[in-house]
Structure 1
Amino acid sequence: MSDNWALKTYHWTLYFQDDETVDESQNALNVQHLQQLLARRDHEQFLAAYEDASWPLDDFRRALGGEGLCLFMEDVGGQRKDWSTRYANLLLDSAIEAPPGVIFHLATLLDSTALLELAKLEDRKRNRTSGYRSGGQKGEQPSGKARQAILQVKRVVQIMQMFLGDGQFSDATGICRSVFRSPQERTFLRALSLRFPGLLALPNYPLDQIVALDRVGAIDAETLRYGRNCRLDAVLIVPDEGDPVAVFELDSRYHDLPENAGRDAMKNSLIAATGLPFFRLRAESPESMSVDEWYALLSDQVLPHIDLGSRIRCRQAAYSLIPC
């Protein structure tokens, strides 16, 4: 299936989401916006956004509003009485929750009896969470409701943003994968096919398919084992004959690591034994290389070193009996 089909399918699915899912996503974005305003200490915008929010209030959002009040009292204090009054209204409407000390400070600042009573009420609630001292006669069982502590639970809310990509659902659920290991390989092979249309370009090709390892002289066991498991980034062959013409490796900073230098040396020695042109190409920005840029590099640096002449014979593909 094509990328365009996948894109249209994603839009179709997104369009027919239920209203509840859309509302939850919007609420998450609103909360994230408020958190960003708090991080910038933008009290005016935070207060306006909190008052205009249309979401259902819960403990997390009330605590978020209380955090805004605490930061406001710390930064501005009594300099903005109009903002203090708006925060006081939110407290009295139970739209935000704040520590008793902050409410006491705000009540003193505004000379508000209602806020003072609210601060005392919050203080009593907080004292009740620590439990009561045991009293009465020995063996007396305290009342469950009167003595039971109120547990405060902090909820951790994780917000995840999704964005539209070009992936396909089958790529995530199936075991089949692309022969290319990176976007750079895909772009390079396309340029290779366009620059040499008469030849066949193969990606991630096994090295022992073009090198007769049993005929390489003075090869140690480690190099032999590596040659049987090694793959080449790209190989150019003559389509009808299957005769290799050139070998390509797309280098990166990964090849600069000491542990990879030995493997590269073994690969170089095996390719050198065949006499084939071997090109190691490295782009400064592999992710930004286009087909046109690879095409120009192949024309300037690779084409002059490749023999595109006709072959005298085909390579032997199988053995057969001959008269003796």
Structure 2
Amino acid sequence: LDLAGRLARFATLPKMWGGLAEEVGVHGGEQGHFHSHPHGHMGGLRGLLAYGAAANDARILEFVRRSYEHLRTYMIPRAGWLPGNGIGDGVVHAEGCNLGDLVALGVRMSDLGLGDYWEDVDAVVRNLLMEQQLTDVEALRVVSAASPPRAERSAWPGQETSERMPERLLGAFTSWGAPNRLPVGSIMGCCVANASLGLAFAWEGALRCQGDTAQINLLVNRASRLADVDSYLPYEGKVVVHNKAARRIALRVLSWIDRRTLALTVGGLPRPIEWVGSYLLVDDLKPGDEVVMRFAVPESTVSYTANHRVWRQERVYTYTLRGSTIVAVSPEADGPRDIPIYRRAHLRSDQAPMVWVDRFVPERELRSW
């Protein structure tokens, strides 16, 4: 821990940090501001966060939080979009690695009480992280057909293949994501790995079991030893918790949900709503109880400017959202090698489609930071 502390203090020297331009009176180097390669910096922030938690070093934890808050000003947070390789002055697309980092930092900082970043995690996971995973083989075939042949090939045998590449890329994550499209020019292995980790961090953080209390942080489908969650979002404002062995459930309510529209039932009977901050508390539960939360899902249209004052890259994007889920974007992609995203008209239905699946509950959940 002593060696880690010395490395942490060296890594947070002001000369290592600083924004592209700082306001008068703001020492960005002391606050973790930066303007180059977000993934490289966020990887360091995650390491600093782990050390700060282990050593209870309040200054290091503050550094990470303030760095994240500054980073967030370059984002379109509700889309989970962040320019990828030099914020403010460089590559203008979101790197897949960034998405995993954003989720990991949001989950762990929330765990440590540095803030409540579950809304940021929710936005990344529901939107760009989902869209940057390649699931449409026909779209990949279109991109492949529109791509020029490789000019140079490896001089070593067995190093390259073009066999069934669209099919073999299914499930991978693209390296770059624009606010309205995936410019699939290349896929880097680091982005596939780190974006996949983002899914794991979100899954782990979505529901936590401690003693006889289940804490639900994200309104997504999730199974656990104490309770199972069925989320009907974004189709319907309905979340069902099937209680197995919890005596108490704490359920985080997203900020866009109008609390005046909330209705809560336990076992089919109305239950008064109790709050602790953003969490709805349901106590005195018995095995087999079904907890149902209902609320209105608003549809909204919002516009954001990406890459402000970046030469030839500034553009306004308009999103249509159901709750926190983007269901359409304008302008849409129009390049022959671009994969359009947010073509989600099916999510605007008022009835959630139902699918029966087997859900796995591990005997022990591991957290590794």
Q: TM exceeds 0.5? A: no
Q: Normalising by structure 1, what TM-score?
A: 0.23
Higher normalized helix content (fraction of residues): 1
More strand by share: 2
- TM-score when scaled to structure 2? 0.20
- The structure whose Rg is larger is 1
